[in-house]
Structure 1
Amino acid sequence: MGKTILAAVALLSVTALAGSATAAPGRVDGHFDRPQEGFAPAATVLRDGTPEGVGLDPGPIDAALRQMAAWTNKTPGLEHPMYAGAVSLLAHDGVVVRREAAGDELRYSDGKGTELPADQREPMRPDTIFDVASISKLFTSIAVLQLIDDGEVDPDSPVADYLPEFGVNGKQSITVRQLLTHTSGLQAEVKLWKLPADQRIPSIMQLTPEFPPGTHYTYSDPNMITLGLLVARVVGAPLDQVVAHRITGPLGMTDTGYNPPASELHRIAATEDEAEPPRGMVRGQVHDENAWSLGGVAGHAGVFSTADDLATLGQALLNGGTYGGNRILSKVSVENMLTNFNSAFPGNAHGLGFELDQRWYMAGLSGPRTAGHTGFTGTSLVIDPASRSVAVLLTNRVHPSRDWGSNNPARQALAQGMARSLAVDPALGSESWFSERGGTLTTDALGPVSGPTQVSFFAFVDTQHDSDGTDPLLVEASVDGAGWQPVTVRASGPGAPDGPQSSLAGAGHRSWWKVRGTVDADAGQQVRLRWRYAPDGMYSGRGVNVDGILVADRDATLLDGELQANRLHPDGWLSTDR
């Protein structure tokens, strides 16, 4: 058998082996590269366990939690901590693998950041109750979907069918679905607290849209305030009672609700020292001024909860709307929460209630069906059906002042820690090459070659690739060891880009791609190849893996990466079995 045939057989064998490795049966839990379909078993109830017990690598999780704790101290780039305290909870496949508290529930005495004496501070606890701010919108959305399940509300009917007073000033055609997806055209904010009490709700009903309904995406508090009123009108009971009787009660979320009792004040994280309106250090009352002006109960804000309770809600949705034998939503409604209805507005994917695929806080867990929400007080909930995982981060980042900045880095770090703990099995053999933060993987000089040279490999790519930018994986070649030129490649597999590509990027598909390219080289030249991952440092994905590298000219195999790993030189890459 000649050398040319041997090279061709080698290329074919890599393809065949990778196909069988990717499809091999085995454990599904603990894997990023084996996305789940459908819902978790309805009987799944959260229980405590360990990362190792469900196939996770504890290292990335523990590193993220150490960072969560470090940010309660002075944070680089800031003159103060990122937040006074935080509670983190991570669950996978029905198992709570980490539950951690750091920092303080109460730390400051005023809005300037004057620290209380150590004996007057109150430490954060795993069961601390937080004002979850806009995560409240999920409870309102679920209440609306319950009415849709019951046939009492049609999502495509005008809101005015249920709230006739809403159907004025250009709002007559706004539908329930448009409120749920923030495409109603209504403005982002209102300042109800500046109005007399008897004018607050009427002012919402009298709003005039800023855009024609259905033509723009604007994340809008008035959308959800209106839906809260719709729920109360249709059910004939206040929103807080509806949520208690139809959501938190059936799910056993005993620490979740509006206007928590004074007896629980010692468990509640303080928020802001508010000067306007002059409320002082807010603790145990809703932080949002509009919800406060409405008595603490509103469709957009007002819910207080714990990490464990929010994890229960997340698991109920992963189960298809049921938990502990109690169904709160139909599977159809849960699917509608996980389906993007905003394809006309790239970057603003939204189901009926949930934000979807938002890498800025979901990090490596983001995907087309990854659902979540954040809250202004410093909270976030991420639910990833593909890996059946839940990530909850609760902070009091507005304590003592909203002007102290964002906790987005913490949101990203926690979700990324969970994503990295999930395995990506090598396409071939026992290990693949991996890069999370960027770098190069470079070959020795290969050849001299007989002419144009073929390169093939497998790539697992989970990077930012959206309207905010691209974090590319590039294949580059050099014939002099100094100048590098991109190699045009073609990729195949779920989610792979069509046609020739100068770089590879993508997210959400969670599958290995087969990649091939040709290096233009003259006979007698030596060729070097490198794989360069170049993230921009913004919102990264899980990262990239490369495996099964094979380089051949027409006469011979020049490099078999599985047998000659010593001829590959990593900088920012590591060899990993997961």
Structure 2
Amino acid sequence: MLRGTLPPLAAPGRAGGGPLSTPRLLRPGSPERAGLDPDEIGHLVGEVRDLTRGPRPWCAGAVVVVGRGPVIAAQEAAGWAVRYAAYDPETDAGVELPREWRVPMRTTTPFDLASLTKLFTTVAAVQQLERGTLGIDALVGAYVPEFTAAAEHGITVRQLLTHTSGLRPELPLYDCPDEAARLAALRTEAPVTAAGDYVYSDLNMLLLQRVLERLTRRPFDALIRDGITRPLGMTATGFGPRPDAAATEDQRKPWAKADRGMLRGTVHDENAWALGGVAGHAGLFSTARDLAVFCRTLLCGGSYGRARILGPDFVELMLAEPGLGFRVDQPWFMGELAGRGAAGHTGFTGTSLVLDPATDTFLVLLANTVHPRRRAADSGPRAAAGTRLARAARGR
């Protein structure tokens, strides 16, 4: 795709078609009304509840939303948004708050999305592809020439979106003394592997953020708000602080990269925090219901109700193998939903979403798995939930 050759994007909030083509809004329902096997959905919800139980649960609390078409088949909250006052390294356990001081999880509880933020960065970039103002195979250096390493090594927009730029997973920006030093580190960071090799990297989305800000001459948070969340009515989605959010980690060295104490409502990711809480790779907060709207929008080809944020061809471009920003067909967190073009992502704090165009289904599972401290990643429960949904769709 070449810059200037793609059709323009319709204004946000405009209908994507006539009345018959306007996608229906999400509405509460039941597995039966959604055309899903109620037994499988019942098991899915019960297993999510179980994840929050016991002295060392998978997560302190969780919210799950399952839908098919415009029908929300299940929506459940379990456990605690805030359960622990601190982490005790001597006992390797959380210091539990008295029960009356804990904060129960609600279906409306906001979560630190962590890397699910990357999906919004991706949509913002693909919007510019649709407008014709950004070329997918254009050189990053053409937009931000001061990023000298990216320019020297010929990094492209496509490589950023597919994590094939060769950039390493992250930089310790949180150790830089000031903003100027952080920016200098990003500008001079060169690839460490060959272009084309897949290396998942936060730096790709940080660089893409800078490209989008330069291209649109707008701050990144405004770009996400005005181009995605506002037209879709996702009023609970935005960059922090969010004091009502589920708690994350008692962030202290040596297990973390900074000493910040128990976090609630401020971004967990150390680099996003060092960058002021607004970053292309992490920083957004949202609720399960808002993310259900996001999923429904993509399953409807970029429209929701009378709002249109992308055209169907560009949604297809974004979700087709190997995926732009989105991961496609990943059994390790999608379970049996994988293998048919399912797309989604996970976040370090315990968040995930999957949408399956083949069955018009979606699954949002938000959990605070790093509360009270981070552990080795375990996506088994995510995969199990994906498998339950896949079987529920097949069984009806």
TM-score by length of 1: 0.62
Q: 1:194 & 1:312 partners in 2: Cα distance?
A: 37
Q: Residues 171, 282 of structure 1: CA spacing in aligned structure 2 closer, same or farther, 3 A cutoff?
A: farther
Paired position in structure 1 for 2:298: 317
Structure 2 unaligned spans of 5+: 1-19, 89-93
Deviant stretches of 4+, over 4 Å: none
Does the residue aligned with 2:40 lie in a helix, a strand or coil?
Answer: helix
Does the aligned pair in 2 maintain the 1:166–1:172 contact within 8 Å?
A: no
Aligned-pair CA distance for 1:42:
4.0
The offset of 1:326, in angstroms, is 1.2
Q: Cα offset for 1:190? A: 1.2
Distance 1:84 1:192, change over 3 A: same
Post-superposition offset of 1:352: 1.3
Cross-structure match for 1:20: none
Q: 1:236 corresponds to which letter in structure 2? A: R
Please, which of 101, 104, 110 is the counterpart of residue 80 of structure 2?
Answer: 104
Question: Which residue of 215, 220, 223 maps to 2:204?
Answer: 223
Given the alignment of the two structures, is residue 414 of structure 1 paired with residue 385 of structure 2, yes or no? yes
Distance 1:307 1:254 in 2: 12
Measure the CA separation in 1 of the matches of 2:299 and 2:349.
25
**Deviations 1:7-42 (CA, angstroms, capped at 9, x unpaired):** xxxxxxxxxxxxxxxxxxxxxxxxxxxxxxxxx954
Q: For 1:384 and 1:169, how far apart are their aligned partners in 2? A: 34
> What is residue 201 of structure 1 aligned with on the other side?
183
CA distance in 2, matches of 1:132, 1:376: 8
Corresponding residue to 1:364 among 336, 340, 347? 336
Of 283, 287, 294, the residue aligned with 1:306 is: 287
Tell me by how many angstroms 1:44 deviates.
2.5
In the alignment, which residue of structure 1 is the partner of 2:323? Answer: 351
Matches within 5 A, 1:163-182: 163-168=144-149, 171-182=152-163
Alignment partner, residue 16 of structure 2: none
Q: Which residue of 1 is the match for residue 394 of structure 2?
A: 423
Aligned to 1:23: none
Between 1:170-179 and 1:156-165, the stretch displaced more is 170-179
Structure 1 residue 390: Cα displacement: 0.7
What SS does the aligned partner of 2:248 have?
Answer: coil
1:59 match: secondary structure: helix
Which residue does 1:29 correspond to in 2?
none
Per the alignment, do residues 134 and 213 of structure 1 end up closer, same or farther by CA in structure 2, a change over 3 Å counting?
A: same
1:84 aligns with 2:64: no
**Taking every aligned residue pair, what percent have the same amino acid on both sides?**
47
Q: How many residues align?
A: 367
Deviation at 1:172, TM superposition (A): 3.6
Question: Is contact 2:112–2:286 with CA below 8 Å preserved after alignment?
Answer: yes
**Is there any run of 5+ residues in structure 1 with no aligned partner, and where?**
1-39, 341-349, 425-577
Q: 1:395 Cα deviation (Å)? A: 0.2
Find the counterpart in structure 2 of residue 275 from structure 1.
Answer: 252
CA distance in 1, matches of 2:315, 2:350: 25
* CA drift at 1:367: 2.5
> What residue in structure 1 maps to residue 239 of structure 2?
258
Give CA deviations for 1:440-492 in whole Å, capped at 9, x if unaligned: xxxxxxxxxxxxxxxxxxxxxxxxxxxxxxxxxxxxxxxxxxxxxxxxxxxxx
Once the two structures are superposed, the pairs formed by residues 112-511 of structure 1 within 5 Å of their partners are 112=88, 113-168=94-149, 171-197=152-178, 198-214=180-196, 216-261=197-242, 265=243, 267-276=244-253, 277-340=258-321, 350-403=322-375, 405-424=376-395
- The alpha carbon displacement at 1:338 in A equals 1.5
> Which amino acid is the alignment partner of residue 40 of structure 2?
P
> What is the CA deviation profile of residues 104-148 of structure 1, one whole-angstrom value per residue up to 9, with x for unaligned ones?
000001122010000000000000000010000000011111111
Contact kept, 8 Å, 1:248 with 1:254, in 2: the verdict is: yes
Q: Cα deviations across residues 154-185 of structure 1 (Å, max 9, x unaligned)?
A: 01010011110124377441100010000001
1 CA distance for matches of 2:59 and 2:394? 31
Give the Cα–Cα distance (whole angstroms) in 1 for the partners of residues 189 and 327 of structure 2. 24
Cα separation, 2, equivalents of 1:211 and 1:419: 36
Closer, same or farther: CA 314–413 of 1 in aligned 2, 3 Å: same
Contact 2:153 2:190 in 1 (8 A): no
The question of whether the paired residues in 2 share the 8 Å contact of 1:83 and 1:396 is answered with yes
Q: Is the 8 A contact 1:378 1:407 kept in 2?
A: no
Alignment check: 8 A CA contact 2:150 2:187 kept:
no
Please identify which structure carries the higher helix content.
2
Contact 1:378–1:406 at 8 Å: present in 2 too? no
Q: Deviations over 1:243-293 (max 9, x none)?
A: 0011000000000010135xxx2x310000011411111111000000000
Equivalent AA in structure 2 for residue 83 of structure 1 = C
The AA in structure 2 aligned to 1:271 is: T
Shift of 1:413: 2.0
Aligned to 2:14: none
Larger Rg: 1
Distance of aligned partners of 1:90 and 1:114 in 2 relative to their CA distance in 1, 3 Å threshold: same
Cα distance in 1 for partners of 2:209, 2:260 equals 25
TM-aligned CA deviation for residue 212 of structure 1: 2.6
- Pair 1:335–1:169, CA change in 2 (3 A): closer
Coordinate RMSD, CA, aligned? 1.5
Shift of 1:407: 4.3
Per the alignment, residue 4 of structure 2 pairs with none
